[in-house]
Structure 1
Amino acid sequence: MNLKETLEMLNKVATDNKELIKNEESTKQFLILPLLRGLGYDTYSPQEVTPEFTADFHKKNEKVDYAIFINREPKIFLEAKPVTSKITKNAPQLSRYFSTFPSVRLGILTNGIEYHFFTDLNNANIMDSKPFFVFNITNYNEEDFSYLIKFSKNLYDYESIKNLAESMMYSQAFKSVIKEIFENPNDDFIKFVIKERFKFKVTQQFINTARPLVQKCIQESLAEIISEKFDINQAMQEAAPEVEEVSQVDKKVYYSMEELESLGSFEEFGGVKVVLPNSESYKKLLKIPKEEYSVERGNPLSDFFVSSVLTQGNTIVGYLIGQYYNQQTDITLYTVKSNEIANFLKENPIVRETGFINARLGFRTNKITNEKTYYLKSCLSNLSFRDIPNLVSKVENIDEFFNSIQ
């Protein structure tokens, strides 16, 4: 069951069982744990989702409802409330848990319906007083869903979460300022509007006189912008229905865990996990006709594939490139550092000609020397290497890893 299906199921459970799900324990069992499973976390493994996780505060012994571990470290703390509780205030209890573990940078306060997401934008390891994102399983749109999926196990990356939190925080702040100005423009804004078009000295008396006129002009301007935009969009739709029909591409926004896990089997190589792809699975996910197979889009018929992406922290530092031979009965693995991918392509021109099963080639051009540096990206739309289970392998020392397998 993918995340979309999980949310649909939970919406039905919450709607049909209002009288039965009342206390905190039933909220956890029927609403919270299923969502964590929908996000890819193994709620049956205490090494991944630990209930009643102990956090010591001086002489107190307090427990967070759930600690979620990624790579054997607690990364997310979740505090649960009964579904009947309204989440209207901040979360001091969750904040205390948060500050105890430096590895935890995300806190979730939920009653099973609303999920309030907190991080530490203002001060490191001190949880912000307000959530940067609120998700409601009974009332959400596609944009909300696109944010929620970023918290799934295979996509979780704190830097991405931090960027999302900053973006949302700034957006909320900017919108509130703009809304205040539009509803009740202050003296500085009125003075700015006047001086943009007129050169005379602006007095306080003139600002007070102009205030109702500026408010009226703001409302009329917004109405004109909306009207013009609507007319333009409507005209474009009426003028180009055939073009839209021809160019429309059915893009998939997300992939189910079943689809991702069907991509291949996993084995150990030089201390890291590698994927040995099933090319038929990639063909099904690509959904492109044979005549359109190319280096740019990825070639499922190629003998070459990316078997593992090696990372240090959040940086990709190398690849394991696989090659089938003997009618795909045997496999050779090549080790390639990220900054040497161009040399690898020169030494193996057939790779550039036939492409990869699960990768496409990209390049950056040095503006001074015009030299191209190649890198690899997933050929599946809206899916990165980091999304595919076990494909990403963390390497502590990249040089030591490459030297150890030569």
Structure 2
Amino acid sequence: MELFSQLKSLADKIEQLKDKIETEESTKHAFTLPFINILGYDTFNPTEVVPEFTADLGLKKGEKVDYAIFQNGNPILIIECKHWKQNLDVHNSQLFRYFHVTKTRFALLTNGIQYRFYTDLEENNKMDEKPFLEFDITKIKESISKEIEKFHKSKFDVSLIVDNASNLKYTREVKMLIDKELAEPSQEFVKLFANKSYSGRLTSKVMEEFKEIVNKAFNQMISEKVNDRLNSALNKEQEKQQEEEEIDDKSKNKIETTEEELEGYQIVLAILRRKIEKERVVYRDTQSYFGILLDDNNRKPICRLHLNGGVKYISLFDQDKNETKERIESVDDIYLFENQLLKTIEFYDSE
């Protein structure tokens, strides 16, 4: 989760800065080096991250790759960087040559936005033509961040990455083929289904009709499956909310809201009224804590007050709804967390 958040932050920075980045060198400093830092490598340590790493090619001496990351004295990843506007398709041949003369098993080609990771699955010490991992950092997904995490300094394991690379590469290839077939079904794809569902002769006219049928059927099926999953998720959420409401109803008779809890609510309300209407800030008292919510929504907790035990606490929430408890001496200490409370409101209102 932490790596994903860091990648998202870098993506936001890239979106803000890219139109001001005019050179390849600026792309490296603004986009690529922060990415290397996120992977846990010290870009200021020349024994760990080597800029302009020399990769001599036979009689051609002095060839340099932009960066090489070292571990235990050996290069584990070479990186070739281009300007963020450049198309990477025309640059992998240069990295291909570098890969062959270094001891690394991994290479990265990037323009700071598009990232392509390569290895040598098809032939030892010869970089594959196609990457096993490719992504756009401005559209990063959590599933991709888990693959990137394998390159983190604290988790780097050559064997583990190589074993997983084959699965990633061919899964990616199959997904691309499926996507292509869904957009424009090939003759072989249409014939596969026509043969199984049509008993007559497959004339060119019949094949043309089946091309449209196959395309329509697959898109309808995908749409139906998406709707089924959405409905299932909504039903589960409604059931969960109903269960919570029933539990709340049963426990209400056992709950006694104290003057101190109401005072704490008034302090939170006073802080937030500068940003939102007071009607949006609602409290719900439970047996274990005094909760303050935005829009009376359980999925939008602002904070929780724990005031009835020997030690008093306030629970705060970040943008991922992770809860952090902070000790307080009295309800007046709630004012110390003004910035966090206001940020929590901003997170919800930006969703």
> What is the TM-score with the length of structure 2 in the denominator?
0.59
Quick one: structure 1 residues 192 and 69, their matched pair in 2 at CA, closer, same or farther if it must change by over 3 Å? same
Report whether the alignment pairs 1:52 with 2:52: yes
Q: Which residue pairs with 1:292 in the alignment? A: none
Q: What is the CA–CA distance in structure 1 between the aligned matches of 2:42 and 2:163, rounded to whole Å?
A: 26
- Tell whether the 8 Å contact from 1:23 to 1:84 is kept in structure 2 after alignment: no
- Tell whether the 8 Å contact from 1:105 to 1:119 is kept in structure 2 after alignment: yes
Report whether the alignment pairs 1:42 with 2:61: no
Quick one: structure 1 residues 83 and 184, their matched pair in 2 at CA, closer, same or farther if it must change by over 3 Å? closer
Q: Which residue pairs with 1:162 in the alignment? A: 162
Q: Which residue pairs with 2:77 in the alignment? A: 76
Give, in angstroms, the shift of residue 112 of structure 1. Answer: 2.5
Give, in angstroms, the shift of residue 89 of structure 1. Answer: 3.0
- Tell whether the 8 Å contact from 2:68 to 2:76 is kept in structure 1 after alignment: yes
3-state SS of paired residue (2:90):
coil
Q: Which residue pairs with 2:66 in the alignment? A: 65
CA RMSD of aligned residues (A): 3.1
Quick one: structure 1 residues 68 and 244, their matched pair in 2 at CA, closer, same or farther if it must change by over 3 Å? farther
Q: Which residue pairs with 2:234 in the alignment? A: 234
- Tell whether the 8 Å contact from 1:90 to 1:129 is kept in structure 2 after alignment: no
Q: Which residue pairs with 2:309 in the alignment? A: none
3-state SS of paired residue (1:170):
helix
3-state SS of paired residue (1:212):
helix
- Tell whether the 8 Å contact from 1:117 to 1:131 is kept in structure 2 after alignment: yes
Higher helix share: 2
Q: Which residue pairs with 1:87 in the alignment? A: 88
Report whether the alignment pairs 1:143 with 2:143: yes
Q: Which residue pairs with 2:341 in the alignment? A: none
3-state SS of paired residue (1:120):
coil
3-state SS of paired residue (1:56):
coil
Q: What is the CA–CA distance in structure 2 between the aligned matches of 1:178 and 1:122, rounded to whole Å?
A: 23
Please give the residue correspondences for 1:312-323 in structure 2 after superposition, counting only pairs within 5 Å: none
Give, in angstroms, the shift of residue 167 of structure 1. Answer: 2.4
- The one-letter amino acid of 1:220's match is Q
What whole-Å deviation, never above 9, does each CA across 1:12-46 have from its counterpart, x for those lacking one? 54344446533233333333223212211122222
- The one-letter amino acid of 1:55's match is A
Please give the residue correspondences for 1:254-403 in structure 2 after superposition, counting only pairs within 5 Å: none
3-state SS of paired residue (1:22):
coil
- Tell whether the 8 Å contact from 1:47 to 1:69 is kept in structure 2 after alignment: yes
What whole-Å deviation, never above 9, does each CA across 1:78-137 have from its counterpart, x for those lacking one? 112233434343411111110112x31111112223322121222221112232223333
Q: Which runs of 5+ in 2 are unaligned?
A: 248-323, 325-351
Give, in angstroms, the shift of residue 229 of structure 1. Answer: 3.1
Give, in angstroms, the shift of residue 73 of structure 1. Answer: 1.1
Please give the residue correspondences for 1:6-17 in structure 2 after superposition, counting only pairs within 5 Å: 6-7=6-7, 10-11=10-11, 13-17=13-17
Q: Which residue pairs with 2:113 in the alignment? A: 113
Q: Which residue pairs with 1:127 in the alignment? A: 127
Q: What is the CA–CA distance in structure 2 between the aligned matches of 1:165 and 1:87, rounded to whole Å?
A: 20
Quick one: structure 1 residues 237 and 108, their matched pair in 2 at CA, closer, same or farther if it must change by over 3 Å? same
3-state SS of paired residue (1:179):
helix
3-state SS of paired residue (1:125):
coil
Q: What is the CA–CA distance in structure 2 between the aligned matches of 1:228 and 1:5, rounded to whole Å?
A: 30
Quick one: structure 1 residues 87 and 192, their matched pair in 2 at CA, closer, same or farther if it must change by over 3 Å? closer
Q: What is the CA–CA distance in structure 1 between the aligned matches of 2:48 and 2:133, rounded to whole Å?
A: 23
Give, in angstroms, the shift of residue 193 of structure 1. Answer: 3.0
- The one-letter amino acid of 2:86's match is S
Quick one: structure 1 residues 21 and 193, their matched pair in 2 at CA, closer, same or farther if it must change by over 3 Å? closer
3-state SS of paired residue (2:147):
helix
Q: Which residue pairs with 2:216 in the alignment? A: 216
Please give the residue correspondences for 1:156-195 in structure 2 after superposition, counting only pairs within 5 Å: 156-195=156-195
What whole-Å deviation, never above 9, does each CA across 1:249-297 have from its counterpart, x for those lacking one? xxxxxxxxxxxxxxxxxxxxxxxxxxxxxxxxxxxxxx9xxxxxxxxxx
Higher strand share: 1
Q: Which runs of 5+ in 1 are unaligned?
A: 247-286, 288-406
- The one-letter amino acid of 1:33's match is L
Give, in angstroms, the shift of residue 244 of structure 1. Answer: 8.7
Quick one: structure 1 residues 244 and 204, their matched pair in 2 at CA, closer, same or farther if it must change by over 3 Å? farther
Q: What is the CA–CA distance in structure 2 between the aligned matches of 1:226 and 1:238, rounded to whole Å?
A: 18
- Tell whether the 8 Å contact from 1:6 to 1:35 is kept in structure 2 after alignment: no
What whole-Å deviation, never above 9, does each CA across 1:47-82 have from its counterpart, x for those lacking one? 211122211112212011111111221111011223
Aligned length: 244
